[in-house]
Amino acid sequence: MTAMIGAACSPLLTFDMLVPKDDGGVKVASDISYGEGTRQKLDIYAPRHAAADARLPIILFFYGGSWASGTRNGYAFVGRALAAQGFLVIIPDYRIGPANLYPDFVKDGASVVRWIVAHGRDHGGEPTNIVVSGHSAGAYIAAMLAVDDRWLGTDRNAIKGLVGIAGPYDFAPFDVPASKAAFGAWPTPADTQPVRWAGAGDPPTLLLIGGSDVTVRARNSEALAAKLRAGGVAVQIKRYPGIGHTGMVTAMARPFRYRASIVTDTVNFAQRVTGVN
């Protein structure tokens, strides 16, 4: 089996409601439509004391859920954590299965990027300075936008970096229920894989792996890194011992950062590739 993509990550609504969040980041906009569908909406987070004329670098974060579950309402802890470090943070919903299959969720991701390019400045962001990121299935969406120019064309130039957290990037043929459900109807499986498209000209990349993740195997990140490096792209891989698949995102919450330095590593990378540091 080339990859294991297990049961959908349960929406983290209760976790998000209970966990303490970063005071330095606040939600500044909710339920903004980037398309006509009921799931084509996004929320925006910003530093609490951002200047009115700020042009902040932007982090676009896609949550996971095996392309079949999830809601942006469970990820305020991520939005506020990253916004507190000086970023405008966008967290969208996107179409999911079973009603929507590949490539619908990638198309939605591309629509969010185009929305940012058109409207980012209205919310204090710099729309030419985007880091795309995500956890699990969300990391897959982020990777496809970063490495495959079928979706964004010249707007892909706005993407300055990719942060993939426990992401599946090389999982064809589809041999677990989640990947079969989301991708099994596509006639050319190889075309759905980030490793098929990655190469020269892609943005710098940070790939984060849980040392105890048995849901999405480390070989996914290793394969993507090898393909990018072969094209001359700067890639970092970091492993966190003892951290499982869901733990890779819950460790972004303030009380659990002692488990893994995911927020710090993401911020340091994003600052570097967007020119903040």
User: Is the pLDDT confidence value at 8 over 60?
Assistant: no
Q: Could you read off the pLDDT of 178-217 as tens digits, one per residue?
A: 999 999 999 999 999 999 999 999 999 999 999 999 999 9
Place of tokens 């942006």: 72
User: Is residue 5 assigned to a domain?
Assistant: no
- pLDDT above 80: residue 120: yes
8 in a structural domain: no
Question: Is 257 contained in some domain?
Answer: yes
CA distance 45 to 90: 7
* Greater model confidence, 3 or 136: 136
| pLDDT of the residue at 277 | 66
User: 22-32 pLDDT, tens per residue?
Assistant: 999 999 999 99
pLDDT, tens only, 191-202 = 999 999 999 999
Q: Report the percent of the chain where pLDDT is more than 70.
A: 96
Is residue 1 situated within a structural domain?
no
pLDDT attached to residue 30: 98
The whole-number average pLDDT for the span 85-112 is 98
251 located within any domain: yes
If DSSP codes are grouped into helix, strand and coil, which group holds residue 104?
helix
Residue 244 falls inside a structural domain = yes
Cross-strand pairs, 56: 125
> In this model, does residue 1 exceed pLDDT 80?
no
Question: Could you report how far apart the first and last alpha carbons of the chain are, in Å?
Answer: 41
Instruction: Supply the pLDDT for residue 7.
Output: 38
CB-based burial label for 36 (10 Å; 0-12, 13-18, 19+): exposed
Q: Do 96 and 65 contact (CB within 8 A), yes or no?
A: yes
Cβ atoms of 11 and 65 closer than 8 Å: yes
Residue 191: other Cβ atoms inside 10 A: 14
Contacts of 23 (CB under 8 A, 6+ apart): 48, 84
Note the pLDDT tens digit of each residue in 41-93. 999 999 999 988 889 999 999 999 999 999 999 999 999 999 999 999 999 99
Q: What's the mean pLDDT when you consider all of the chain?
A: 95
Please report, as a single letter, which amino acid is at residue 39. R
Examine residue 199 and state whether it is found in any structural domain, yes or no: yes
CATH number of the structural domain spanning residue 57:
3.40.50.1820
User: Residues 34-44: pLDDT tens digits?
Assistant: 999 999 999 99
Hey, what amino acid is at 191?
D
Is the Cα torsion angle 176, 244, 79, 11 positive or negative in sign? positive
Give the three-state DSSP class for 47: strand
d(CA 202, CA 49): 33
User: Structural domain tally of the chain?
Assistant: 1
- Full domain range(s) for residue 18: 13-274
pTM strictly above 0.75: yes
Q: How many CB atoms lie within 10 A of CB 171?
A: 28
The pLDDT tens digits of the residues spanning 210-266 come to 999 999 999 999 999 999 999 999 999 999 999 999 999 999 999 999 999 999 999
pLDDT at 12: 83
Mean pLDDT of 159-168: 98
Check residue 89 and report its DSSP letter.
E
pLDDT at 10: 52
Residue 128 forms part of a structural domain: yes
Token reading at 1: 């089996």
